[in-house]
Amino acid sequence: MPQSLLSIPTPIPPLVEPPNWARLPIVECGEPLVTVVPTERLQVRSLYAEQGIPNAPTEIHVRAGVLARLRQAVSHLPTDISLVIFDGYRPLTVQRYLYETYQAEIAAQNPHLAPHELANRVMEFVASPNADPTCPPPHRSGGAVDVYLISRETGEMLPMGTQPDETSPHSITRYFEENPEEPFTTNRRLLFQAMTSAGFTNYRGEWWHYDFGNQRWANCSGTDHALYGIPLSESGFSG
């Protein structure tokens, strides 16, 4: 029996996020962006570059402190499972492309939505491509990561109930706490437990999205300010 099935991780608790994370100040710590070099337990997939999205980086970059915490997260996983990071620092042009793509997709699926309802629905899955340096999108800070789990034996993604980036109610992190179904419930718990044990917070609308150091992290963790705004080293990593 795989080690991951020997113990059942604890349930994902209710996730509370106060409104308007952008209200919190940023006290930029100056930590650099670094390239994530893949290892056997921490693997890399540049998903948006694979999809041909313009200006999407071909490598994954995050703040140095985020990389250290990703390595900690791996240590909290069963040894038969690896962590894959498929997005980290995201240039504003890529943020804008994703926002407009999701907006078109959701509008086509829900033609009855009023403009403000459409905007709210889109921002459940992707932050506004705001150029204001006082409230950058979480991924632009280098403090947000999108991740999933794979089996080291097969290299296949552990079933999570949806694909990463899927615009579905099933993508809500606790969906399978409210509607239990295996192996989705256990696999999401494994990921949540590993990432939060390393200091990350989860965006409750997406099981794959975790933050450290940015405004959303500060908002979810109860910290009074963010550590990461727009990275000083952004120009060298913007695709």
Per-position pLDDT tens, the chain of length 239:
344 444 568 999 999 899 999 999 999 999 999 999 999 999 999 999 999 999 999 999 999 999 999 999 999 999 999 999 999 999 999 999 999 998 998 999 999 999 889 988 888 889 999 999 999 999 999 999 999 999 999 999 999 999 999 989 999 999 999 999 999 999 999 999 999 999 999 999 999 999 999 999 999 999 999 999 999 988 777 65
Select which of 28, 105, 156, 206 is catalytic: 206
Going from N- to C-terminal start, the domains of the chain cover 3-89+142-236
Burial class (CB in 10 A: 0-12, 13-18, 19+), 124: middle
Task: Give the three-state DSSP class for 170.
Answer: helix
Q: Rounded distance, CA 188 to CA 158, Å?
A: 9
Two structure tokens written together for 90:
């995201």
Strands, E, within 152-230: which ranges? 201-202, 209-211
Closest CA to 150 of 213, 93, 81: 81
Among 237, 225, 177, CA closest to 14: 177
206 annotated active-site: yes
Q: What are the tokens at 31?
A: 């930590």
Q: What CATH number should be reported for the domain whose range is 3-89+142-236?
A: 3.30.1380.10
| CA distance linking residue 113 with residue 187, whole number of Å | 34
d(Cα 73, Cα 10) in Å, to the nearest integer?
Answer: 16
Interatomic CA distance for residues 100 and 123, integer angstroms: 11
Give the span between the Cα atoms of 13 and 216, in whole angstroms: 18
The residue type of 144 is: A
Residue 91's SS3 state is coil
